[in-house]
A and B are shown apart, each in its own frame.
Chain A
Amino acid sequence: MSAVAIEGVWKFYGDYPALRDVRLEAERGACLALIGRNGAGKTTLLRVVAGFSRPGRGKVQIFGNEPRETETRRQMGFIGHGISVYDELSAFENLMLYAKLYNLPNPKKSAMEWLERTGLERVRNGLVREFSRGMRQRLAVARAFLHEPTVLLLDEPFTALDDKAITVLQKLLKEALAAGKTIVMSTHQLREALELATHVALLNRGQVAFHGPRTPEMVSDPGYVYARYGEG
């Protein structure tokens, strides 16, 4: 059973199909990079996989379950465009909030552990609105990893990050892959993404234009996939 199976997914905005018959799979321990131009449907697809919006046709299965099932959501980590933490709460309070929502056995311990892993334990009682950009992003990473998800969905994870946050995130993602977790990410940062990716899918106007394992050519020339398969 694949970790993430996208089976013939269509998504409509009115009559306009933003996703057309998308079929993709990611095995346990795989990292699937979704690439494509703006408006190709990468974010839409990730939101459907995450269960934020329902597909018009087709279905998504995460370890054989629907995305909206409680059990699935417990296994899923999502990093979107925003940092998804509250400016008015402290770093610790933010992580405690999510730890409680995910019903972690020891919320305090998990929160402290992730503050430490993202280098925020010194400022744990500071309000997020006083944080620098980099600190906010690291907290966002801590928030997404807090409940030890087995499937990670990342929407443009490297775009807004500073160097330190990129380092933290890449280290975490490599560890996650090594531990057999599954990653699906959309990205423009081909170099960072292709280094991690085991598979690549190119979306073009809501359709899968290419899907296959990452090859050495792609790493040496990030424009290779586009040149070869896309945008004719």
Chain B
Amino acid sequence: MGFFRQALVITVKDLRAEIRTKEAINASFAFALVILVLFSFAFDPLEDTTRDISGGLLWIVFAFAGTLILNRSFARELPNDCLDALIAAPISGAALFLGKSVANYLLLLAVELVSLPVFGIFYNVRWTTQFWQLMLVLVLGTWGLTLIGTFCSALTVNIRLREVMLPMLTYPALVPVLMGSMQLTMTLMAGKPIGPDMVPWLKLLAGFDLVFTAASLVLVEIVLVG
């Protein structure tokens, strides 16, 4: 069976299990909502201020909310020792990792897409003016976030204080992704399209995604099998 079909089987399995319980996705969205509300106390939510910091605000919300989903990713395999059976199956660690990453990616994108209108309503921001370019940033930024997060989720699955370790490992590594996404989102929220001055950020996001997709696919087999 092809590599991508194996990954797809894993993705479908993770999504199905998650949609049955909705544990991670509910927690993640509720958390996003809480942070969005809390931010309104941190500064005066006027139109101008909000627009200026919209990028940072949104991506911090996404990064926090994402951690809840990513924490569950490999932890889901723990209770019945399912990871053993997956490793024993004739499927490569890379396919397993890719499948899990894609599942997390779709879940996180869903949380983000629901959070965006809520953000728009709370802070009176017209976020749809550059809708498709915003989607492009979301797609690229979230993949970077998910990739690093899923890899670190595999690294931390067996250790105590897993929930604390994951953000400690991922956020510093994610600085380029978050910064790029924040910059681009800020411009787009202000209603401006991505101009030539912003293209380097897009390249940075794409480059980060590419480099770390390759690196994690190579390294994950070692992480899973030792």
Contacts and interface: CB of A to CB of B under 8 A. Distances in A.
Nearest to A140: B80
B17 A89 contact: yes
A186 B6 CA distance: 31
Contact of A87 (B79, B84, B92, B225): B79
A71 B16 CA distance: 29
A53 B84 CA distance: 11
B9 interface: yes
Contacts of B86: 101
Nearest to A136: B80
B110 interface: no
Contacts of A126: none
A89 B90 contact: no
B16 A93 contact: yes
Interface of A is mostly: loop
Interface string A32-58: 000000000000000000111110000
Contact of B6 (A50, A68, A101, A143): A101
B88 A52 contact: yes
Contacts of A76: 88
A88 B81 contact: no
Contacts of A82: 79-82, 84
Interface residues of B, number: 25
Given A70-B90, A80-B84, A89 B13 contact: yes
Given A53-B226, A97-B9, A97-B13, A86 B80 contact: yes
Interface in B1-33: 1, 6, 9, 13, 16-18, 20-21
Interface string A86-110: 1111000100011011110000000
B82 A101 contact: no
B91 interface: yes
B87 A52 contact: yes
Given A54-B225, A85-B80, A98 B20 contact: no
Nearest to A97: B13
B81 A86 contact: no
B75 to A, nearest CB: 13
Nearest to A153: B88
Given A86-B17, A89-B13, A127-B20, A51 B80 contact: no
A76 B89 CA distance: 8
Nearest to B12: A97
Given A54-B226, A100-B9, A83 B88 contact: no
Interface in B185-226: 225-226
A83 B18 CA distance: 19
Interface string B55-83: 00000000000000000000010011110
Given A84-B82, A85-B85, A98-B85, 11 more contacts: A51-B225, A53-B225, A73-B89, A73-B90, A76-B88, A85-B82, A86-B13, A88-B16, A89-B17, A101-B89, A103-B90
26 contacts: A50-B88, A51-B87, A51-B225, A52-B84, A52-B87, A52-B88, A53-B225, A68-B225, A70-B92, A74-B90, A78-B85, A81-B81, A82-B79, A84-B80, A84-B82, A84-B85, A85-B80, A85-B85, A88-B16, A89-B16, A93-B16, A98-B85, A101-B89, A101-B90, A103-B90, A143-B85
Interface of A: 50-54, 68, 70-71, 73-74, 76, 78, 80-89, 93, 97-98, 100-103, 127, 143
The 7 closest A-B pairs by CB, nearest first: A82-B81, A84-B85, A88-B17, A73-B90, A103-B1, A101-B89, A82-B80
